[in-house]
Amino acid sequence: MSTANPPLDYNAFKSYIQMHIKDCIEEQIPECKITEVCVFPAIKNNDTCYEAMQLFEEEGHSPLIYMDSLYDEYRHGRSLDKIMETVACDYAQVRSQENMAAPEVWKSFAAVKDRLIFRLVNREKNSCFLEHCPYRGVLDLAVSYRVLTSRMESGIATLMVTNTMMDGWGVTEQALYDLAVENTMRLFPACLKTMRELADEGLEQACEARGDTLDMEKVFDLELFVATNSCGVNGASVICYPGFLASVGKTLNSDFFVLPSSIHEVILLPAWEGVTGKALSKIVSGANAGIVAKDEFLSDSVYYYCIQNDEIKKCSGQTGENLLQ
């Protein structure tokens, strides 16, 4: 009687992918000739370190492919073949686009200026890389700059803009900011959806886990909104889109709280009697501790947007209206 093979542990999974991905890609993309497959440690958001795979050809290479993300798919039931087929599909899309990550390309400001975008990150947890990069402070967060190198069905790939790159281009941080805001709004338009539409139970789970007294039936009756972008990646950045918070205020006809769910989205809660920033902060920190991945953490803070003054501030009082113009 035969028995099913036991699931692979992470190291065995990594070895299998590294050993077989070349043949899988070359079978799906006959003109592609992979010369090397490397796996190495890579730093992601919030100074988290993961192992990444990169595929090399004679005249190019793939974006970083994070092995932990692939292994999560495998642990949740996706087959090895399906995982490698998706990697091959993404790589085919990347090969069909201009290689914006090539040094001869990103050294030219004219070549990258229409691909400059920004993302919103936690300032303290990214202090190491921010020392070497131009950025703009927004409350306890930071707007950092990236070059969009490729778009795939599974997401996007970007290249971090460093002080050295900015100096080589001969531009200022203000010029980067102006271009990045314009491009990010164009390439990744803001999306506003209700919590019901997204069937997101994260907030409710956090309340139940911590025993908070917030009336969740009342919360969901208020039609909580989730703000992100059209891609769903780094979507929390939409709170820095000029005019976006004001437009939400008009939609809700109310001041509202901004709860940083992750770097990918924020939850917007109309200000109603009985809800305090302190109570919401417990919910946010609980969700961050138990649900949000370390590299997707944005902040434990809760923010408040005032329609009348058109300003956003931390519930502790730190105001950021001048940084969102």
Give the percent of the chain with pLDDT over 70: 84
Q: Which residues pair with 226 in a beta bridge?
A: 193, 267
Alpha-carbon distances, residue 251 vs 124, 194, 255 (angstroms)? 33, 12, 10
User: Is 68 in the same domain as 135?
Assistant: no
Question: Which domain, by its residues, includes 120?
Answer: 103-187
User: Is 165 in the same domain as 195?
Assistant: no
Give the percent of the chain with pLDDT over 90: 54
Q: Is 130 a member of any domain? A: yes
Q: Is 216 a member of any domain? A: yes
User: Is 90 in the same domain as 114?
Assistant: no
Q: Is 232 a member of any domain? A: yes
Q: Tell me what pLDDT residue 105 has.
A: 64
Of residues 71, 55, 150, the one with CA closest to residue 112: 150
User: Is 313 in the same domain as 199?
Assistant: yes
Q: Is 131 a member of any domain? A: yes
Q: In angstroms, how far is the first alpha carbon of the chain from the final one?
A: 69
Beta-carbon count within 10 A of 124 CB: 12
User: Do the beta carbons of residue 317 and residue 308 sit within 8 Å?
Assistant: no
Q: Tell me what pLDDT residue 155 has.
A: 79
pLDDT band at 4 (very low <50, low <70, confident <90, very high): low
Report the alpha-carbon angle 218-221-226, nearest 5.
Answer: 105
Structure confidence by residue, pLDDT tens digits, 246-282? 999 999 899 999 999 999 999 999 987 677 788 888 8
User: Is 145 in the same domain as 245?
Assistant: no
Average pLDDT, the chain: 85
User: Is 85 in the same domain as 139?
Assistant: no
Q: Is the pTM of this model over 0.75?
A: yes
Residue at a domain's end among 72, 95, 118? 95
pLDDT band at 98 (very low <50, low <70, confident <90, very high): low
Structure confidence by residue, pLDDT tens digits, 62-97? 788 899 999 999 999 999 999 999 999 988 888 777
User: Do the beta carbons of residue 127 and residue 242 sit within 8 Å?
Assistant: no
Structure confidence by residue, pLDDT tens digits, 211-224? 555 454 544 455 68
Q: Is 1 a member of any domain? A: no
Q: Tell me what pLDDT residue 169 has.
A: 94
Please count the structural domains in the chain: 3
pLDDT of 19 > 60? The answer is yes
CA 258 – CA 176 distance, rounded (Å): 26
Q: Tell me what pLDDT residue 211 has.
A: 52
> Out of 9-18, 43-52, 204-213, 303-312, which region has the weakest mean confidence (pLDDT)?
204-213
Q: Is 4 a member of any domain? A: no
CA 313 – CA 259 distance, rounded (Å): 12
What's the distance, CA 317 to chain centroid? 26
Q: Tell me what pLDDT residue 27 has.
A: 92
pLDDT band at 200 (very low <50, low <70, confident <90, very high): very low
Q: Which residues pair with 160 in a beta bridge?
A: 146
Q: Tell me what pLDDT residue 103 has.
A: 55
Q: Tell me what pLDDT residue 323 has.
A: 45
User: Is 85 in the same domain as 160?
Assistant: no
Structure confidence by residue, pLDDT tens digits, 134-179? 999 999 999 999 999 888 777 788 889 999 999 999 999 999 999 9
User: Do the beta carbons of residue 15 and residue 51 sit within 8 Å?
Assistant: no
Residue at a domain's end among 95, 127, 146? 95
